[in-house]
């Protein structure tokens, strides 16, 4: 038999696991390296020279540079990423609101909350609140208005 037939016997199972571990650690290393580089560019608190210094350190001494960066500035990496994700979500939500055309309108829940606040402040009576609530719930009030004008008694 040829030597190629016995290749599986020459590479034991533990060596396969060790090779897989090294391969996945290598992949994780590149993921961490790219995250650090992206965080360096994302950070608005760093000056241009500081960004250049961190980039040079991570390129010339990659293991040391990345580990020092994670130790020194890693605490805020997650915060910056969350802030960017939140800003992207808000921009997306704003774009959806514009596309849906609901930018200036208020929902019936908002109108009911405003009515409740007006009633609690004493500007309208319970009967007026009930009538205005019926208008809001039946949809007879124009969008953005609760269907009545509260009295201006100077309270």
Query: Tell me: the pLDDT tens digits for 103-138?
Result: 556 677 888 888 888 988 888 888 888 898 888 888
In angstroms, rounded to a whole number, what is the distance separating the alpha carbons of residues 32 and 41? Answer: 14
Residue 42 makes CB contacts below 8 A (sequence gap 6+) with 80, 81, 84
Confidence of residue 9 (pLDDT cuts 50, 70, 90): low
pLDDT at 144: 46
On the question of pLDDT at 102 being above 90, the answer is: no
| Alpha carbon 25 to chain centroid, angstroms | 28
Tens digits of residue pLDDT in 23-69: 999 999 999 999 999 999 988 888 999 999 999 999 899 889 999 99
Q: Are residues 121 and 154 in contact, defined by beta-carbon separation less than 8 angstroms?
A: no
């Amino acid at each position: 038999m040829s030597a190629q037939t016995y290749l599986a016997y020459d590479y034991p199972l533990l060596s396969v696991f060790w090779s897989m571990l090294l391969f996945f650690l290598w992949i994780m290393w590149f993921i961490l390296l790219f995250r650090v580089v992206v965080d360096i560019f994302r950070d608005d608190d760093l000056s241009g020279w500081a960004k250049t210094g961190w980039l040079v350190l991570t390129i010339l001494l990659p293991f040391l540079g990345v580990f020092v960066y994670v130790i020194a500035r890693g605490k805020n990496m997650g915060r910056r990423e969350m802030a960017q994700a939140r800003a992207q979500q808000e921009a997306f939500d704003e774009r959806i609101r514009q596309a849906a055309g609901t930018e200036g309108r208020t929902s019936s829940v908002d109108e009911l909350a405003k009515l409740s606040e007006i009633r609690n402040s004493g500007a309208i009576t319970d009967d007026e609140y009930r009538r205005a609530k019926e208008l809001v719930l039946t949809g007879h009030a124009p969008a953005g208005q609760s269907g009545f004008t509260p009295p201006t008694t100077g309270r």
